[in-house]
Amino acid sequence: MTELARREHAGATLARAGAHPDVSVIVTVVERPEPLDALYREYAAVLASCGMSYEFIFVAHPFFHEMLQPLMALQQQGEPVRTMESPRSIGETALLRMGLADARGGIVITVPAYRQVQPSALRELLTAVEGGADLAVARRWPRLDSKVNRLQNLALHLTAGRLANGKLHDVACGVRAARRDVLQDIPLYGDFARFLPLLAIYNGYNVVEVASEQHPSDLPRRVYGPGVYVRRLIDVLGLYFLLRFTEKPLRFFGLIGSVLAGIGGIALIVMLVQRMLGQPLGDRPLLLLAVLLATLGVQAIALGLVGEMIVHFNASRRRSYRLREPRVPGSESARSS
Amino acid sequence: MPPFAVPDLSIVVPLYNEEESVGPLIDAVRDALAGHHSWELVLVDDGSRDTTAQVAGAIAASDPRIVLLQLARNYGQTQAMQAGFDRARGNIVVTMDGDLQNDPRDIPLLVAKLEEGYDLVAGYRMRRQDKVVTRKIPSWVANRMIIWLTGVRIRDNGCSLKAYRRDLLDQLHLYSDMHRFLPALAAATANARISEVPVRHHARRFGVSKYGLTRVAKLLADLLTIKMIASFRESPLAMFGVGALMSGLFATAFFVAWLWSFREAPVNLDGSPLNAYVFPGSALLCIALAVFLTMLGLIAEEALQKVRAEEQLERFGAREVHG
């Protein structure tokens, strides 16, 4: 079957099922995938038992091309499954964006291609979203898995988790449900898809955590290469800057810069005074260190100033606040004003 | 007044956890503006965790002159004000605090002053009713610094009771914590004519103050930003150029010091060469900084190119539509 014919077939299936399903499930296939057809059947069974119409969109990294084959077979059997493959190597966030662009359900569920929680968790997530939450995230609780995994989770929460002001306890869990317009409103780029709930809170959305039973296949210990941990650390740093200092870069760079320049400056003044009292300056390596610190400090502050300038000149086009949809009589909504 | 008519006067009030104050506040505004023929009151609930939104919403639902906006979360006073400005329709916009410390009876005074030909009229609090150590002294220091750095002589930047012309607000865009520096920003970027009038100030009746004492570092960073925007808005390269020049002077000084040191003993007692690295090394670091700052200035110019082109289009492009 050609690609075109396959697409037409998928389209026909959807037309039969009604053009807009209630729920779109986006599965990003980018790390440690498990057999995808079995995954589909498990999740689909739960959605069917909720009485929801659904579509599944599998978005795969080209490395996992082969894994999509059984799904094509499902598609030909008329199951509401679509597959997408990125043309080149891209990360989870970009894959999710691809899937979101094609999602048609009013509610979007994102799941990784491996099992983190029991599929029945989807039911509670959907209930939470229908009950008014903008985004519902599964929290693996109680944790049953290896101590190593829990330690990593703890490390993540001592850094990134703090940005949620204690509202989230399992940022790393990729099983989430949200209204589609919410997901399409939050700017997703870089490697920030894994921090989606944090970004949602930052954008003023109502995020709810749902305790869900951990899946047995999520229990074994996972240890990654050092590169992965370095990348995570950089992600967290980027996220911290994004959430806390986007609008005030000088507060971030200025703090670093004034500490560095302050130490350097004090050392310079002390040495200048000592020089006046007669101690030679030219053979003191401390002078080099002091000048280095001072120049680094000035650089940091200068960078912060450029950041402030960019923020200032872009302020006319950006509104950092978002209005809430009306829940209180007499208040106005974002769209009507 | 028919509900769809555009009012002359908009009062913008950010509210954060003011459930007790909001009712009396609305009554006070109604009383104060009873003689004024068309006004609107824009209440902005900044993600309050109490029942502020419910209380305000109930009143707004029964009075077409009152509008309630609800922010999705607690964004801070600056964003709440910007939301109010974006919604306000009047030609004159007055801001005030939601905690009843400002007196709505002063609004007509501000408006009258504005109509003498100013773009911005700031209130300054007579006989301020606040704690001395945590509020009055920091505020005095901050105001001195703002005057000194920006040259805008406003006695009381912290007083929320201010009146603005619509045209001025359209040119200003608030972000971060900039509402405190609105007069300075208005003078620096929009050449606003600014005046002051004394206003009443009451002690807090309900709730607690939402300002902390530890704001000095943030204030300093914001002031530096305002100063930079005021002085180097037109040419950031000039600012970084000055920095690069100063760094170059330091480099020269270190270089001269190095040459000077050759006059004295060029070797240590054991015969090893003296101070071969410290002075030239310092000079090179300063040169590196000068190069870095120059390049940063160029990048800043680059980043502003697009914005300037758009500003140009906004300012002059519209004429082509008419002509």
Residue type, A285: P
Question: Which tens digit of pLDDT belongs to each residue from B118-138?
Answer: 999 999 988 887 778 777 887
Q: How far apart are the first and last CA of chain B?
A: 37
b/e map of A157-173 (b: 16 or more CB within 10 Å)?
Answer: bebbbebbeeebbbbbb
Give the pLDDT band of residue B206 (cuts 50, 70, 90).
confident
Q: Rounded to an integer, what distance in angstroms lies between the CA atom of residue B157 and that of residue B67?
A: 27
CA atoms within 13 A on the CB side of A71: 26
Please judge whether B258 and A313 are an interchain contact, meaning their C-beta atoms are less than 8 angstroms apart.
Answer: no
3-class SS of residue A178: strand
Output the pLDDT for position B322: 45
Residues of chain B contacting residue A314, judged by C-beta atoms under 8 Å apart = 307
Q: What percent of chain B has pLDDT over 70?
A: 90
* H runs (alpha helix) in chain B: 19-32, 52-62, 77-87, 107-114, 137-150, 166-171, 182-190, 216-232, 236-261, 278-312, 318-322
Output the pLDDT for position A263: 97
Burial of B126 (0-12, 13-18, 19+ CB in 10 A): exposed
Please judge whether B292 and A299 are an interchain contact, meaning their C-beta atoms are less than 8 angstroms apart.
Answer: yes
Find residues 191-220 of chain B whose CB sits inside 8 Å of chain A. Answer: 217-218, 220
Question: Would the pLDDT of B1 be above 70?
Answer: no
Residues of chain A contacting residue B236, judged by C-beta atoms under 8 Å apart = 306, 309
Output the pLDDT for position A20: 87
Output the pLDDT for position B209: 60
Give the pLDDT band of residue B317 (cuts 50, 70, 90).
low
Of A166, A95, A173, A99, the closest CA to residue A135 belongs to A173
The ipTM (two decimal places) reads: 0.87
Shortest Cα distance from B128 to chain A (angstroms)?
30
Question: Which tens digit of pLDDT belongs to each residue from B135-169?
Answer: 788 788 888 888 888 888 888 888 899 999 999 99
Q: Which residue of chain B is at minimal alpha-carbon distance from A295?
A: B289
Please judge whether B174 and A315 are an interchain contact, meaning their C-beta atoms are less than 8 angstroms apart.
Answer: yes
Question: Which tens digit of pLDDT belongs to each residue from B228-263?
Answer: 888 888 888 999 999 999 999 999 999 998 888 777
Residue A311 is nearest to which of B175, B217, B278, comparing CB atoms?
B175
Question: Would the pLDDT of B73 be above 50?
Answer: yes
Q: Rounded to an integer, what distance in angstroms lies between the CA atom of residue B182 and that of residue A27?
A: 48
> Which one has a higher pLDDT value, A291 or B303?
A291
Average pLDDT value for residue range B177-197 = 89
Strands (DSSP E) contained in A39-134 are: 54-60, 81-85, 107-112
Output the pLDDT for position A7: 47
- For residues B105 and B96, is the Cβ–Cβ distance under 8 A? no
Residue A324 is nearest to which of B72, B222, B281, comparing CB atoms?
B72
Output the pLDDT for position A1: 44
Place of tokens 């300012």: B315
Please judge whether A292 and B285 are an interchain contact, meaning their C-beta atoms are less than 8 angstroms apart.
Answer: yes
Give the pLDDT band of residue B270 (cuts 50, 70, 90).
low
Ranges under pLDDT 50 in chain A:
1-13, 15-16, 334-337
